[in-house]
Chain A
């Protein structure tokens, strides 16, 4: 503690500079992590929040619910093989008009409102309470001026619908999800026959031959473009982690090399490697913590400034996890310096004319 703090206090410029670099990198790490998280959420929250354990699709869809179609016959085949209660599910992309006459794309989730469980509602009615042409829309449609009990009209089928409730965390590929009963006909706006995408059920997994059975996570990963987007962002985060760990490691390594003579003296006057290593670790922890707190603060500031539609989402857990991993990487990097210190010979300090 003694050595570590005194030194940082005396080399303020040096340590301020490295702190600034760390803050900048960490800010980017947090930002991209938040972006990846937010994008993933906007892309898939509706699927993640489906009230089901398993999703049965046809085999051709390769797990992408949007690409799966099931006929009435296939529906029967599936339902016959399931012991537990199941509900058909239909996903249709369409558009509604907002108050200014501008088109807003939406995703219809058609379900059997008598069988499907209630979802998280922030205002109005829940699924089981829907009657007639009532629907539940994700809250972000409010940005377009809609309020509870407003009537919205589907652009393709001209079906008028009444907003009976607002839900939360129900977006599909960035579109607000509208939960509706099959009776409203949203599943067959593109044809005469009702079209189904999947069958949902909870409980034990049942393998049905000729069909794919997915968990919600698998369905999310199969959303077209999802894995690619997340993969690229993840790669950026990983690289930032590597860069920052590298910068911090090199910084402490160079400082250590510059101080080999001093460490020799320390060893000669009785300090062991542990004492010096502790001092290096304390400095790493101190700088990393400062970097983490300040960049965390900056991220908090940014989230206050970002527009509401921006898909940015970072939770304290995600931040703490990221911060913890970052600290561990930096400490691992400083082992290189400690290794160097361990090899210093105390003899360097005595009797050698420089």
Chain B
């Protein structure tokens, strides 16, 4: 049972650069369904992160429209974008970007504090996620005690804490060796499938693409799709 979760129509993005403007994304349209794990690859500077930021309500497009679960967020101002991020989007960053003074458990509980969710339920959810990802024994540890792979797994768990509609990962394996990187991507894929989320992962590593359902290529802000 899959339905359309994300839809981009003719999205473009320009940045002012002194007097001139540079166009980073050109007329990008795409649609992603629940349960779908999509990879984006492309050379550095081609606009992958920018695209992810637009999908993730961190940036608004210059043209075109963005719909998440049927809700058109294109014209949202900063406050509503923040609420979209806290309720509909789960981010996994390149470096895990954990908060240094929070234990693994609290990294996840922070999300429920932001969204003001029930504490008990959230704690159960956090335990289950950490268990799924094989790091429940790290619950009480601080980030500086974790390995790179463990940190990234915590980041994955954090991204799923708010029950997002879409999960976005920007080069989540960049700081890991390929074996651990693959393991992390497998875990993202597993969570996406078992929870029926829509997910986009930007990656440099072609060896990860077999774990994804589709691969989108982006070059100079233009998108090509290959099966």
Check B27 for interface membership: any CB of A closer than 8 A.
no
Check A7 for interface membership: any CB of B closer than 8 A.
yes
If A269-B85, A346-B58, A351-B171 touch, does A275 touch B114 (CB 8 Å cutoff)? Answer: yes
Q: Judging by beta carbons under 8 Å apart, are A265 and B114 in contact?
A: no
Closest to A345 in B: B58
Q: Which one of B16-24, B99-107, B132-140, B182-190 is at the interface?
A: B99-107
Instruction: Kindly list chain B residues whose C-beta atoms are within 8 Å of the C-beta of A271.
Output: 82, 86, 114
From residue A7, how far is it (CB to closest CB) to chain B in Å? 5
Check B152 for interface membership: any CB of A closer than 8 A.
no
Q: Judging by beta carbons under 8 Å apart, are A262 and B100 in contact?
A: yes
Q: Judging by beta carbons under 8 Å apart, are A353 and B94 in contact?
A: yes
Interface residues of B in 34-63 (CB under 8 A from A): 48-50, 52-53, 56, 58-59
Instruction: Kindly list chain A residues whose C-beta atoms are within 8 Å of the C-beta of B158.
Output: 269
From residue B38, how far is it (CB to closest CB) to chain A in Å? 17
Number of residues in A with C-beta < 8 Å to the partner? 26
Check B141 for interface membership: any CB of A closer than 8 A.
no
Q: Judging by beta carbons under 8 Å apart, are B170 and A351 in contact?
A: yes
Q: Judging by beta carbons under 8 Å apart, are B100 and A269 in contact?
A: no
From residue A182, how far is it (CB to closest CB) to chain B in Å? 75
User: Which secondary structure dominates chain A's binding surface?
Assistant: helix
Q: Judging by beta carbons under 8 Å apart, are A265 and B99 in contact?
A: yes
Closest to A3 in B: B110
From residue B103, how far is it (CB to closest CB) to chain A in Å? 8
Q: Judging by beta carbons under 8 Å apart, are A351 and B113 in contact?
A: no
Instruction: Kindly list chain A residues whose C-beta atoms are within 8 Å of the C-beta of B106.
Output: 2, 6
From residue B151, how far is it (CB to closest CB) to chain A in Å? 13
Q: Judging by beta carbons under 8 Å apart, are B93 and A270 in contact?
A: no
Check B115 for interface membership: any CB of A closer than 8 A.
yes
Interface residues of B in 164-200 (CB under 8 A from A): 170-171, 174
Closest to A273 in B: B82
Closest to A267 in B: B82
If A3-B110, A272-B79 touch, does A350 touch B56 (CB 8 Å cutoff)? Answer: yes
Instruction: Kindly list chain B residues whose C-beta atoms are within 8 Å of the C-beta of A270.
Output: 82-83, 85-87, 89, 111, 114-115, 162
A353 vs B100: C-alpha distance when bound (angstroms): 19
Check B29 for interface membership: any CB of A closer than 8 A.
no
Instruction: Kindly list chain B residues whose C-beta atoms are within 8 Å of the C-beta of A10.
Output: 100-102, 142
Instruction: Kindly list chain A residues whose C-beta atoms are within 8 Å of the C-beta of B50.
Output: 351
